[in-house]
Structure 1
Amino acid sequence: MSKLFLCHYSEIGLKKGNRNYFERVLETNMRKSLARELPGSKFSIRKEHKRFLIKYDETVPDERVKSALEKVFGLANFSPVSAVEADPEKIIQSALNLIKDKTFSTFAVRSKRADKSFPLTSQELNVEVGAKIVEALGKQVDLTRPELTCHIEVMPDQALIYVDRFKGAGGLPVSSSGKVLVLLSGGFDSPVASYLALKRGAKCSFIHFHSYPYTNKFSQEKVIELARVLNQFQFNAKLYMVPFAETQEEIVFNCPDKLRVILYRRFMMRIAERLAKKEGLKAVVTGEALGQVASQTLENLGAIEQAITLPVLRPLIGLDKEEIIAIARKIGTYEISSKPHDDACTRFMPRKPETRAKLHEVLEAEKALDVEGLVNKVMEKIEVLEI
């Protein structure tokens, strides 16, 4: 015997000329997520009428399938379903069998017809099934706030009936929007920025700048742990570990104190861009949020971004800290990010960092540095980890 899950997608339904492309990417991601969650299990995925139907062996727990699907961006919702012949009497009987052992006082029936040749309209089917439930179980109809909703979807070859509907991750399928490189630290912000980039269909590689031996190895271990959590929402990510201490030393010894953080970030951007172009990644993603800390002003963000030509995406730009923390808790990065760690940008911090950087002053300060030479030197020492 087999069991079925019905999956509805999210905003992919708004696509027109390229909907098929998004559907293919979504189906691929569903297959990968199910294969990762259910190693050795057999399953099949069939697309029909803007839906996906997953068929799997009855020995597989529904919770395992649910766990796999809730990590797939692009899905609006998904449900374990019963399938019967598209016949009114059989639909009624199946609906009764499905809900008879459930605890509820009020209910509603919601029907959709993908097959317009079905003899009843959606409303007529709602009435027919609802009347039988009232007659057989003595329950009351409540179309406003029902305690239980019986969903029926009539397809050309069968009808699908279900009660439980689980919320999907939403957004767009990972990889459908291209590939990006995320500046990943051990804090709260950049993992959440990564998650939001993934939700918009970007496949993420990660780059982490560390100041070892001025910082301990724990900060690197922490970032690896964060990358593994984020990789639950995608597949086969890379994490680039970048030794940054020598570059920081050059900035400290040769440039004005107040511009250190700006110059650190400009070099990080240059290295990230060099790596991104080498790997075919189309944008750089950061965890910056406007005004969250003194250095994240429009002037400073502009001075930092000017160092590169690739697009810089800042998914957190309009979020406050409470919103960021809420997402971190939801996706499982909060506890990891809460652990104390040394951040590369906190090493050699100036007493009074610039909050309103003037670009001409930044460019003048960089004249004291061999910018190209420093970037080249770092590029030779990058360590690549497969997550």
Structure 2
Amino acid sequence: MNRVFLCHYSEIGLKKGNRNYFERILEANMRKSLQRYLPEEKFSIKKDHKRFLVYFTEDVKIDLVKSALERVFGLVNFSPVTTVSLEMSEIETIALKLMEKRPEKTFAVRTKRAEKSFPLTSQDINVQVGARIAEKTGKKVDLTRPEITCHIEIMRDKALIFVERFPGPGGLPVSASGKVLTLLSGGFDSPVAAYLMLKRGGKSAFIHFHSYPYTNKFSQEKVIELARILNQYQFNSKLFMVPFAETQEEIVFNCPDKLRVILYRRFMMRIAEALAKKEGYKAIVTGEALGQVASQTLENMGAIEQVITLPVLRPLVGLDKAEIISMARRIGTYEISVKPHDDACTRFMPRKPETRAKLHEVLKAEEGLDVEGMVQKALEKMELVEI
């Protein structure tokens, strides 16, 4: 005997002409996520009128299904359902059985008809099924704030009935918007930025800049842990580890103290863009939020991204720190990010960093540097970690 989960998407339904494209990616991602928890012979997926039905064998644990589906971007919610015929007597009987098991005292019945040729309207079904439940259980109808809702969806050849609804992460399916490269540090911000890009359909590879041997390897270990958490929302992630200490030393010895942070960031951007163009990533993603630290002013952001031509995406730009930390807790990166570590930039931080950079001063500071050679050297020493 099979059990069934009904999976709804939301935003994809607005895509009209492109909906099939998004649906194909969503179905593939659902399959990949489920395969992490279950053998493929234990489940099957069927698209049915702007919904997905996932069939499982009887021995599959519900918690495994939840763990898989709650990490699939594009799904807005999913529910374990009972499938019945389109006979009203059977719909009433199964709805009653489901509600009899529930302790809640007030309820509502909500019906959606994907099959508009069904002889009863949604309201007719609500009234008829609700009356049977109220009569047999003693529960009170409350259409404003019910403690529990019995959902009925009328399909072409069956009805789906359910009382539980689990939230999905929403957004667009990962890969639907293309590939991006995210600058990933061990802090709070960049993992949240990566998560938000995943939610908008951007499959992300990660690049991390470290200052080993001036710092220990803990920052690298943290980033690998963070990438593994983010990989739960996508599949087969790449993490590029770039030794950055030599680049920082060149800047410290040859450039004005106050411009160090901006110059570090400009070189990170150059290195990231060179990698992105080679690997086919269409944008660079950072965890910058406007005004949060010295390098994150409009002037400095402009001076930093002036060195590259790819789009620079900043999902956190309008968020404050409390909002970012709250999201980090929710997605599971907080406990790793909160651990102390030496950051690639802070190791060589100036006493008073520039907060309103003038581009002509920045360009003059770089005149004595072998920019192309420094970028190439960092890329040659870069290591790839497959997640």
In the superposition, the TM-score normalised over structure 1's length comes to 0.99
**Structure 2 counterpart of 1:65, which letter?**
V
C-alpha distance in 1 between matches for 2:186 and 2:169: 24
Q: Deviations over 1:54-112 (max 9, x none)?
A: 00111111111011000000011100000000111110001011111110111100001
Partner of 1:331: 331
- Secondary structure of 2:73's match? coil
**Structure 2 counterpart of 1:43, which letter?**
F
Q: Give the unaligned 5+ runs of structure 2.
A: none
Partner of 2:102: 102
C-alpha distance in 1 between matches for 2:72 and 2:128: 36
Partner of 1:10: 10
1:114 aligns with 2:114: yes
Partner of 1:238: 238
Partner of 1:64: 64
Identity among equivalent positions (%) equals 76
Q: Deviations over 1:276-322 (max 9, x none)?
A: 00000000000000001122100000000101000000000000000
C-alpha distance in 2 between matches for 1:151 and 1:17: 29
- Secondary structure of 2:212's match? coil
**Structure 2 counterpart of 1:28, which letter?**
A
Aligned 8 A contact 1:181 1:281 in 2: yes
Partner of 1:49: 49
Partner of 1:274: 274
C-alpha distance in 2 between matches for 1:209 and 1:139: 60
Partner of 2:368: 368
Residue pairs, 1:1-387, within 5 angstroms: 1-39=1-39, 42-387=42-387
Aligned 8 A contact 1:286 1:312 in 2: yes
C-alpha distance in 1 between matches for 2:301 and 2:36: 39
C-alpha distance in 2 between matches for 1:39 and 1:156: 30
Considering only aligned residues, what root-mean-square deviation do their CA atoms show, in Å?
A: 0.7
Q: Deviations over 1:159-201 (max 9, x none)?
A: 0000001111000000000000000000000000000000000
**Structure 2 counterpart of 1:232, which letter?**
Q
In the superposition, the TM-score normalised over structure 2's length comes to 0.99
C-alpha distance in 2 between matches for 1:194 and 1:208: 13
- Secondary structure of 1:116's match? coil
**Structure 2 counterpart of 1:358, which letter?**
K
Shift of 1:41: 5.0
C-alpha distance in 2 between matches for 1:152 and 1:241: 51
C-alpha distance in 1 between matches for 2:112 and 2:39: 34
**Structure 2 counterpart of 1:26, which letter?**
L
- Secondary structure of 2:16's match? coil
Q: Give the unaligned 5+ runs of structure 1.
A: none
**Structure 1 counterpart of 2:221, which letter?**
E
- Secondary structure of 2:79's match? strand
Moved more, 97-106 or 266-275: 97-106
Aligned 8 A contact 2:70 2:169 in 1: yes
C-alpha distance in 2 between matches for 1:147 and 1:18: 38
C-alpha distance in 2 between matches for 1:297 and 1:337: 23
Shift of 1:343: 0.4
Instruction: After the TM superposition, list the runs of 4 or more consecutive aligned residues in structure 1 that deviate by more than 4 angstroms.
Output: none
C-alpha distance in 2 between matches for 1:237 and 1:134: 52
C-alpha distance in 2 between matches for 1:376 and 1:4: 53
Shift of 1:10: 1.9
**Structure 2 counterpart of 1:266, which letter?**
R
- Secondary structure of 1:171's match? coil
C-alpha distance in 2 between matches for 1:57 and 1:216: 48
C-alpha distance in 2 between matches for 1:40 and 1:276: 34
Shift of 1:39: 3.8
Aligned 8 A contact 1:10 1:172 in 2: no
C-alpha distance in 2 between matches for 1:44 and 1:189: 37
